[in-house]
Structure 1
């Protein structure tokens, strides 16, 4: 009997940019000597545009606001800095907890196992025979909490190796040896027993778990796992006895709980209740593992899903970009559902076809052969034909199809998609007039579209590029007022100020815009440029700020502390978990503390950094929800900044940079963007190491440097990668006359596109070139590295 067991997993998180015109194969970006950016990516996805509209982010991914960082409407421009200082001055923190018997025992266990940490971390990373042997030896020679932590590390490694009996045995030994992490020993031991098919062994470990382990992060999940254990042993009544009292709790909303309850009803003979639960999971949680299991159970019970239900499920798969699975479901509905009308079958064919279009598995001939329908499905066929015209570089055909959609289906979501895609097509072609038309039409016809903020900004920028400054100025001010939380606001503020300065010669108002940009988006790429312009403009006669500036959201500095509550049990347990290499539980353990909003981000990153996991440390800071790039450096405890911008491999970075005449801050910023300091990183594009070098590039440089016996895996050696990577970076810079913006764009997108963009030769200055880069990832990549170089200079002066 298959039983679902829930694991807490931590992986490399890839956060994609929003509204991308074109995207690369990997998020970090690479050189022209790496993988090339896709030339003609389709319009940004709905999910991407939603991110753009809903989240306040900086020019790099992941710079977003959250409950910890909120914004309020600006009362007046002049009060911004003063209010920020007042907020900082009146921060209140919970009093640090006093030492308790519990915290003292946990601290003692932590210190007793500090020497285990490197061995346990190596075991988790490699799971080699030598690593297993080393930890086993440690367990035998360190009784008590030392042995307990070692056996936890062994059990965890055995779980990763799918050796569940060995894991269960190790967790039992951990429970006997010490009590500091006994909730982990019991919960993970039960999990291992369940996976080994011995659910009965889990009963005693999970029964009354919360009473035995008050405050454990597993208290909500333990009853579900206990129910799973009963179900595995064919005892549904016992499972119901565990689950039914929890139906009014928050846990009951979790899909794992609902699936277990459905299985308990099913096995106890209550098929009606079971079917209702499985049907709900299938429809409301389409991407979950339990959705597939629920479908299988419904089939086993002989309970059919309606055509409408299956169509809803397939639509949800499509919206989640699971095109292959959605296509299979559309095909299956058409094949299996007798009694469908010809019209219904035609619609299913069209929806299946659009999945194939997204997968690039369909030709124009096949689309043209699709049935003629009415309504939204007819608009869908025109959309597919327009996309194929785009791929075929048939502008006239594309535009005719768009015009037909505007006339026949002015409210169709497929027209919305087609307009955004068309705008992006013309953006890539440097046809500013047609791009402006498509983006403007989208905003006009779909003002609440998820694409609207991005489309509106692109229309504003196209007008700037066409030197229609009056219209560009109007649209930029409108951007600030209509989409104040959009990612485009810092760009709009800067370029509207430039129009005030360069075209309208209203230097005083330009100063107002630059100041708001500098203080509200303090560490953004455009804030740095704004400060440069303020230096040039100097003192100007004060004028009343434009009313537009009142729409700019005002930053509220989050309540952060640079001091960790050393006696907080959850913090001590998190550190102890690191000693046992149970890394995926560090974050959840910290978050279990009621006061973690004040210090949790710092604690988690600091724990990772303490054993050299700089990549995970940086990622935890990036994804903690704090908009660091909006915050003044002096209003955030220094530890946060140093964890967000670490200096691993710094002596080698400096040495290799100097050999090639490079700025080490610039190199460090590039490495942070490329690999997040993961020396072992290998991308899907086959780029290796810290500076993400393609093997052929590394081999070529190694040969010129007379490095003998060079092998591809040598690029995973930090020192070798830095030696060859800095040479490669210097070569790219030299090819572009030392201009960092051109070189970075080429490092990410390749030489050819950059040469093509440069050939326009109609940019007033370098910032205009950067904003005009049509590949969103490349533009954000360039801005991020230049911005982060400044952060490194500020944080490590004289390094």
Structure 2
């Protein structure tokens, strides 16, 4: 954006004397802006994180706001360029130097320092933060915290302590106050200034209730030579707060104190030991809980026969993979509490499941039924053995257990899924009338069922098989209207096309008519939020949020606005939070926030939701790389966009608990195999976070799956999630009329839902972005 004429006058009158100097400075700034814009356009698009433009007329994808003044707009552009490439740092510095007395300069220098600190350049960051401190800004708490952190990293502890002490006096309401306090204490320890820690803790109240406070209190008392007091506090931390993040350090300090000072004694109360076990067990830290229980029994053998502790030990052994030991322990549980005994027998059954001993697994559940027929643990065991048989494809056996839950536990949390699975099995057995009746029964019984769309769709398919296409068409149309953006709405659209010559039935089963009417009524009530009201905001009312947005730190702006105790939690706030995350390309939390504004967006007509909202729900990034690699591998790029959204929400740094990395969530072992097949260098784990590398390997892997399954995307997607061997096993069952039947029959809920979601994503990406070329 070029400055307006009045901006030139105000710029000169405020900061400089002499027109020629003003002109020269503005020429330099404008030249730097043009240079950085050109440079950023020349960057490889795989690193620029480009996005697709939506099909059709472009609506404003962000809230309607006043155009910013010339200098604010210049700072925004310079900040954006700097974050894309640090080579443009000089242009931002020139802007800051030319506006030394302005808050904008301080924000610019803060951004430079923040980026330098992120890039592990604390020495440069310290100098930038010092310049930023010359003018006050609404985000000075962030300045002083990160300034202190950069000095700490440089081992300039005295200076860091001063900055953090200043923070403590000036920014009591900052969201960084806890982190700043911990860093202040860490800095004080590095300076051997334990008294500073004790002085600051005095104002906080009772230290024993906060593990972080107690940790630094113990560190300070140890430094002062009060070893007995320090040992007691470390022991309290270890036993009462076993899940505290610094407990490995706590354990080391206890060992060092006791080894170095054998005269020290502290008799740990039995209650503390039990508290530690209980918290470890509740937190599912089973290995540690198991070890501590064994130590507890050694110290007091009478506790070994307490049923509660036996149960904890048995479950902890189970959770640690020691199934044989767990069986012995759990079978010894004999409590006056019947629920405890039922829980023990449930885990006995689970041990046999893990050991793959089906006869004893089933026998244990029969014991549960005989002894505890009304227990929820019996119901859980029925669901477990039903799933075991389903996964192992013993379908008749599986359905008998699911049906038992439906009959005996009508209020069970699993009854809805069980009823659905029994209904689907009738369909697979081609008993279409019974399947239809069961689908309708499901809709009547479970009005909030997550299987509503599926039940209605497959009820229509039953009608087709039963030779009643007019009834089927009427139901398909209801599915399309009510679940237009859903996987089943898209399936219904295809079926409607195939029945285009059929006349709609005027009379329909009364139960079905009632269900369809209920769906249509709920469609009319869904989601009537006025987008203009959500956009009617002013950053002037939120100076901290505005400051972050001016320097393009959208994540920090979104997190600031997420402080509900300050800003509230209205739909308008959530919408702004979503937009900020969207602008910062941090899509996953943005989608979650947007979902709070439009919770039923998948169940309303597509055109009733503004296009810019759909773009926020279904963002597109790194598209140049996606289209290039898809062209190379001859695969539809919209499948890749749909898959990446589900796998990582376009976060290059995504890391799963299974050690899958990057945009397409590749396991290092898989990436190495694919790279070898492409005759590429073996990728390191670090390189899997590079979008270009990850997409190239991931596209080849997905394309190979598509080719292996002869272009069938459903099989390829299922393989991407669950593995090729499993998919081939499922295919071998045969009898699938089409892709929809195969997907519905996938026995793993995660994989089944994964495929459905990506089909839905594909439809959105094709609809939003498919009518024109990539950006």
Moved more, 431-440 or 469-478: 469-478
**Partner in structure 2 of residue 321 of structure 1:** 284
**Partner in structure 2 of residue 531 of structure 1:** 493
Match of 2:609 among 636, 655, 664: 636
Provide, for residues 469-506 of structure 1, a one-character-per-residue CA deviation record: whole Å limited to 9, x for no partner.
56644554454445444433332332233334434838
- Structure 1 pair 607–450 and aligned structure 2 pair: CA distance change class (3 A): same
Q: 1:151–1:171: 8 Å Cα contact kept in structure 2?
A: yes
**Partner in structure 2 of residue 154 of structure 1:** 113
Moved more, 515-524 or 188-197: 188-197
- Structure 1 pair 565–313 and aligned structure 2 pair: CA distance change class (3 A): farther
Q: 1:139–1:147: 8 Å Cα contact kept in structure 2?
A: yes
Match of 1:589 among 560, 565, 569: 560
Q: What RMSD in Å do the two structures reach over aligned CA positions?
A: 5.3
**Partner in structure 2 of residue 396 of structure 1:** 359
**Partner in structure 2 of residue 567 of structure 1:** 538
Q: Normalising by structure 1, what TM-score?
A: 0.67
Q: CA deviation at 1:728?
A: 3.9
Q: 1:151–1:174: 8 Å Cα contact kept in structure 2?
A: yes
Does 2:319 match 1:348?
no
**Partner in structure 1 of residue 143 of structure 2:** 185
- Structure 1 pair 260–583 and aligned structure 2 pair: CA distance change class (3 A): farther
In 2, Cα distance between the equivalents of 1:589 and 1:292? 32
Structure 2 gaps, min length 5 = 1-62, 223-231, 256-263
Does 2:518 match 1:555?
no
Matched ranges for 1:241-252 at <5 A: none
Provide, for residues 33-81 of structure 1, a one-character-per-residue CA deviation record: whole Å limited to 9, x for no partner.
xxxxxxxxxxxxxxxxxxxxxxxxxxxxxxxxxxxxxxxxxxxxxxxxx
In 2, Cα distance between the equivalents of 1:134 and 1:326? 57
In 2, Cα distance between the equivalents of 1:712 and 1:343? 54
Q: CA deviation at 1:757?
A: 0.8
In 1, Cα distance between the equivalents of 2:280 and 2:541? 38
- Structure 1 pair 566–229 and aligned structure 2 pair: CA distance change class (3 A): farther
- Structure 1 pair 775–696 and aligned structure 2 pair: CA distance change class (3 A): same
**Partner in structure 2 of residue 737 of structure 1:** 710
Normalized per residue, which structure has more helix?
2
Match of 1:645 among 600, 607, 618: 618
Match of 1:767 among 712, 715, 740: 740
- Structure 1 pair 474–374 and aligned structure 2 pair: CA distance change class (3 A): farther
Q: CA deviation at 1:762?
A: 2.6
Q: CA deviation at 1:652?
A: 4.3
**Partner in structure 1 of residue 452 of structure 2:** 489
Does 2:492 match 1:521?
no
In 2, Cα distance between the equivalents of 1:222 and 1:718? 34
Does 2:335 match 1:364?
no
- Structure 1 pair 773–550 and aligned structure 2 pair: CA distance change class (3 A): same
Provide, for residues 262-295 of structure 1, a one-character-per-residue CA deviation record: whole Å limited to 9, x for no partner.
99xx99xxxxxxx9xx999998x98565999999
Q: 1:653–1:664: 8 Å Cα contact kept in structure 2?
A: yes
Q: 1:410–1:445: 8 Å Cα contact kept in structure 2?
A: no
Q: CA deviation at 1:374?
A: 1.9
For residue 134 of structure 2, give the secondary structure of its aligned residue in structure 1.
helix
Q: 1:559–1:598: 8 Å Cα contact kept in structure 2?
A: no
- Structure 1 pair 155–789 and aligned structure 2 pair: CA distance change class (3 A): closer
In 2, Cα distance between the equivalents of 1:170 and 1:160? 14
- Which of structures 1 and 2 has the larger relative contact order (alpha carbons within 8 angstroms, sep 6+)? 1
Q: CA deviation at 1:431?
A: 1.6
Q: CA deviation at 1:712?
A: 1.6
Moved more, 781-790 or 731-740: 731-740
Does 2:472 match 1:541?
no
Moved more, 646-655 or 715-724: 715-724
- Structure 1 pair 192–696 and aligned structure 2 pair: CA distance change class (3 A): closer
Match of 1:710 among 681, 696, 700: 681
In 2, Cα distance between the equivalents of 1:332 and 1:456? 46
Match of 1:667 among 640, 649, 671: 640
In 2, Cα distance between the equivalents of 1:311 and 1:455? 39
In 1, Cα distance between the equivalents of 2:464 and 2:376? 40
In 1, Cα distance between the equivalents of 2:211 and 2:237? 13
Provide, for residues 334-386 of structure 1, a one-character-per-residue CA deviation record: whole Å limited to 9, x for no partner.
345x3745531x542442232232232x1436623666232445444433332
Q: 1:286–1:317: 8 Å Cα contact kept in structure 2?
A: yes
- Structure 1 pair 539–318 and aligned structure 2 pair: CA distance change class (3 A): farther
Provide, for residues 407-452 of structure 1, a one-character-per-residue CA deviation record: whole Å limited to 9, x for no partner.
1123445434322221111111112222223233345554444434
- Structure 1 pair 450–762 and aligned structure 2 pair: CA distance change class (3 A): same
**Partner in structure 1 of residue 762 of structure 2:** 789
Corresponding pairs, count: 668
In 2, Cα distance between the equivalents of 1:748 and 1:523? 23
For residue 522 of structure 1, give the secondary structure of its aligned residue in structure 2.
coil
Determine which structure has more spread, i.e. the larger CA radius of gyration. Answer: 2
Match of 1:459 among 395, 419, 422: 422
**Partner in structure 1 of residue 133 of structure 2:** 175
Structure 1 gaps, min length 5 = 1-94, 124-129, 268-274
Q: Normalising by structure 2, what TM-score?
A: 0.69
